[in-house]
């Protein structure tokens, strides 16, 4: 089971990070944290591809406009990337930078969502008398 491997890697890395921080090697602790995140991401990339393919097939079957589907996928991707970056910043003790990363991600997601929001508003206005 892959989840056992992922959790095992996470626990081992956490112990290593704690030991490195206690020995005043915080810069190495951050590197271990980032590498761990990349390893775990590489382990789940095939699962992400499966999810994207399945959602793509569903959108085609539902005759959903591809522009909206791709925008939603971009927003989801940005959310994951922002979360990863913010957690790395928090691991480094930089909560203020993590908050700025999250703010930037929210703004970019909102900008990407605007065409969908405008299309929904247009549809609502057409339905209303």
pLDDT in tens, 14-30: 999 889 988 888 889 88
**Residue 1 domain-assigned?**
no
| Owning domain of residue 110 | 65-129
What region, left, alpha or beta, does residue 63 occupy, with left being phi > 0 and alpha being psi -120 to 50 degrees? Answer: left
Tally of domains in the chain: 1
pTM over 0.75: no
Asked if the structure places residue 28 within a domain, the reply is no
Q: Tell me, what's the pLDDT at 26?
A: 80
The list of the chain residues with pLDDT below 70 reads none
CA 68 to chain centre: 19
Q: What are phi and psi of 93, to 5 degrees?
A: 85, 15
79 located within any domain? yes
Query: Is the residue at 17 inside a domain?
Result: no
Q: Looking at the domain assignment, is residue 7 inside a domain?
A: no
Residue 87 lies in a domain: yes
Q: Which two tokens stand for residue 18?
A: 């704690």
Whether residue 43 lies inside any domain: the answer is no
């Amino acid at each position: 089971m892959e989840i056992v491997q992922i959790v095992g890697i996470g626990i081992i890395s956490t112990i290593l990070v704690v030991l490195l921080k206690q020995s005043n090697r915080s810069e190495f602790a951050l590197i271990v944290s980032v590498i761990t995140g990349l390893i775990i991401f590489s382990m789940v990339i095939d699962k992400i591809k499966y999810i994207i393919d399945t959602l793509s097939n569903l959108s085609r079957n539902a005759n959903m406009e591809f522009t909206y589907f791709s925008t939603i996928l971009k927003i989801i991707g940005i959310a994951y990337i922002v979360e990863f970056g913010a957690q790395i910043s928090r691991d480094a003790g930089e909560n203020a930078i993590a908050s700025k990363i999250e703010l930037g991600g929210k703004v970019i997601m909102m900008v990407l969502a605007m065409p969908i929001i405008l299309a929904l508003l247009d549809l609502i206005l057409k339905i209303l008398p």
